[in-house]
A = this chain, B = another copy of it.
Amino acid sequence: MGRAKKFTGVIAPLLTPFGGDGRPDPVRFLDHARRVLEAGCTGLAPFGTTSEGNSLSLSERMALLEALVRGGIDPACLMPGTGTSAIGDTLTLTRHAVELGCGGVLVLPPFYYKMVSDEGLFAAIAAVIDRLGDNRLRLYLYHIPPVAVVGYSLDLVARLARAYPGIIAGLKDSSGDWSNTEAVIGACPEIEVFSGSEVFLLSNLRAGGAGCISATCNVNAGAIRGLYDHWRDGDADTRQEGVTRFRREIEREPVIPFLKAIVAAEHGDPAWRQTLPPLSAMAEESAERAIARLAALAAVPARSNVL
């Protein structure tokens, strides 16, 4: 291909703030996007699982994305989630993102029907690409079977990458199964493979992967970026241990509500704790206890951008 890699490094699936009316708030969203970039992220993935992206309406997603671009975020560093259960809606969101100049889109497989064939999933992704018909498209496959249940098999990834070279640009592997990530990197060297958690960042880079797209980048971008920048250095394993320890502490609580509570504490903005149903926000006291425990984590270099 010879094409320069567009996305590498440390990408945050942006948390989404809500107002008192339960509507997403573009002003605080833009503010958070800027902070996360300043803290070290190389890109942003709004409307991922961490973003409650599939709990947002189509029009809410489009308005929020426009707010980021209008607010001065370089669209080349944006990889919004555009996958829905319906080809037509995925197409609408994907077209909108490409027309705004987004560097990529992160696409779930259609996730309503379960136990569907690779043939059917191939046809769904192919329909989006073919109906869009825009060579600017850079499509990243979003593999997250623990949530979506439906996922991209290794065979399907390879088949899509062969059928749409350059257009199928990468994959985010949130299976939690490192052996799957390793297999995709081995089988599809032409695409950029991201781990869905920084726990696998060093392994990902040593195997030839592109980096991580991880929930925790919303609050620990500095340390994760440090590991990314220094992964060939002598202290890389120590850095990996530090970010892993931080991540494990986050995972002791429901991850999305806990991350929102951390941002709320950092910004002095309790409304940041809010989630959209069906997720539930952390109660204030639980959040305070969990944050105190996290702050007590010593020996993590450049531990967090928000604490």
Binding site for B on A (CB under 8 A): 22, 49, 54-60, 84-89, 91-92, 109-114, 116-117, 119-121, 123-124, 127, 146-150, 276-280
Residues of B within 8 A of A147 (CB): 112-114
Residues of B within 8 A of A114 (CB): 146-147, 149
Copies in the complex: 2
A113–B22 CA distance with the chains assembled, in angstroms: 18
Picked from B54, B57, B88, B120, the residue with its CB within 8 Å of the CB of A112 is B54
Residues of B within 8 A of A117 (CB): 278, 280
Residues of B within 8 A of A58 (CB): 58, 86, 89
Contact (Cβ within 8 A) B119 A56 = no
Contact (Cβ within 8 A) B279 A116 = yes
Interface centre among A119, A120, A148 (most CB of B within 10 A): A120
User: Are A110 and B56 also in contact (CB < 8 A) when A85-B85, A149-B149 are?
Assistant: no
Q: Could you tell me the distance in whole angstroms from the C-beta of A15 to the nearest C-beta in chain B?
A: 15
Contact (Cβ within 8 A) A277 B121 = yes
Contact (Cβ within 8 A) A87 B277 = yes
Picked from B59, B86, B111, the residue with its CB within 8 Å of the CB of A57 is B86
